[in-house]
Structure 1
Amino acid sequence: MRSAGDKTLGGAETPPTSKYDRLIAAARSGAPALTIVAHPCDAASLQGALEARDEGLIVPILVGPQHRIRDVAQAQGLDLGAVEIVDMPHSHASAAEAVKLVREGRGELLMKGSLHTDELMREVAAGATGLRTERRISHVFIMDVPGHAETLFITDAAINIFPDLDAKRDIVQNAVDLWAGIGLGVPRVAILSAVETVTTKIPTTLEAAALCKMADRGQITGALVDGPLAFDNAISPEAAAIKGIVSPVAGHAQILVVPDLEAGNMLAKNLTFLSRADAAGIVLGARVPIILTSRADSVRARLASCAVAALYAAARRHAASAAAV
């Protein structure tokens, strides 16, 4: 599907209008990222990888039982073309081999197929053979919310259950680096809690205040950070004005840092199911970005996940080349 840049009746190209379409168009303009796809053995995961290939976002290498992958492709009418398939007997072996290929430099991105997230992330997090770095691994939802002017990042709503202050510093920095890496500029980051005042009765307000001071001291870089902020004060200029909050972030936040996984998961799903938002997903902090897709994801969300990861891979590739000069 090519919703961005389609031809009008007069022959001119229309500019991409939605937030996801702009990201997909930007990624399509660069070189596709070599992507290791772990165990794409159902229709949704295989179709997602092949659609991203057809859009020019990624070049997939499929890792899994070859006969199952080919059977799914035939049943769904999917064209595998010249896609490389690394034959592995089952999902655990597929996850281990996919991570191994990334470690060997065969891929810039890792993409989850039809295996459980825990199964893949266990291989990613393995001490001797995984993809860990000094940075805490965290997840970012890239939300396209109808009626909201800007892309929203929500983090972390999928990996860290009750992150401590040090983990939250990495969670914030991962999201900031992604925002800048895909060309969106300097983000406004809101550290969310239930209220906008610091109180010992709500420990997450103390952590929010500490994170803001860490940003002041250069322990978090590349962003405007404010908190604690309640959700309404973070995204609504009117709500922030009523509360008398004067801040470049309040009312205009672009990255929402949630107190814990439960709060983030509920926030993202509320936006998805009540506001009909799309939610793309990326895991950061490992050696390469990891694309997490779900069978419930729309086609646009799957493509947006691949587009964001491809843009970030291109930025990392450019940074590595510049550093080598």
Structure 2
Amino acid sequence: MDKVRPLLVFSLQLLCSCQAASTLSNGFFYQDIINGNGNGEIFFNGVKLQIEAQLPSVFTVSGNNITLPCNFWYEPPLSSPRKVRVKWAWLPVFGDSESDVLVAIDHRHRSFGDFKDRVYLQQDFPGDISLVITNVSLNDSGQYRCEVIDGLEDESATVHLELRGVVFPYQPRHGRYHMTFRAARQACEEQDAAVATFDQLYTAWEEGLDWCNAGWLADGTVQYPITQPRTPCGGLDLAPGLRSYGMRHKHMHRYDVFCFSSSIRGRVYYLQHPQRLNFTEAVQACVEDGAQIAKVGHLFAAWKFLGLDRCDAGWLADGSLRYPITNPRPNCGPNEPGVRSFGFPSPYHKHGVYCYSSR
């Protein structure tokens, strides 16, 4: 009998330690027994947890703060509050699995990955678990899942975050069809942009984008938008729309790319300088003016969102020469608004320059 007792005590200790360890999730201790209120509600006899995301989709631009709405309640209402575990997760537009964004219990919370210290719960009223994302980035778009766990009860709802912006075709100095998918993604990032999604390109086509060179999209397909059918661009017999090459090999095949840029903080301006500048001089002139030479994404965003209109060609950070037109007029290119391009001239040529200031 004396030999059995220590073994029994050890077994009970082991069982308790295992049960305690199983309640750890993302560093948060959770155990349903903390919700006991003496009113018989702990086991949810006849009580149903409800959750709702009031808007299926939310739209914003990069740099803004945005709130993804979500709240929960009980039916019938409880006589006293209960502690719950709240979790927000994110599925990127072309992601394979969800990533944790934020986990919270009561007033304690933890954020993860690229969202660390950039998200929090709104909590304006009981049951309000809306997620606030600060300084939204181009890569934040996708589906967000709001989940509430109370003991054995587990309910969730989803909200889609979409960024508004401008799509522009891009090819590097080397010319047409020189980029693998990885190179294309890097090229967009260097221009303060991201590889466009199909939906973003489709919206741009609806708004009039017409481009005959095929480019990578974020899902690994290669497509191009045509509003005016013509022989070199799929033929006259095809209706307007997106022409698709389908999925391409990301490492072997080479194309241009369609980039997506959202709104910018700060301003883009044509530098008033007493003389024309070569590329090196143009970079330095922006620095001396307390700014930096503008990127292609900066110029497109300023044209789209700020109405930048200037009939003077200027250097940009990639070595290209461009100018933005919102009000078409004689001697300023075609009759449609857009960002005009002169390609990549010799860096020794003398031109103006567009600068970007974040202030």
Give TM-score, length-normalised by structure 1: 0.25
Q: Flag the structure with more relative contact order, 1 or 2, with Cα contacts below 8 A and sequence separation at least 6.
A: 1
Q: Which has the higher helix share?
A: 1
Structure 2 length as normaliser, TM-score?
0.23
Which structure is larger by alpha-carbon Rg, 1 or 2? 2
* Greater strand content: 2
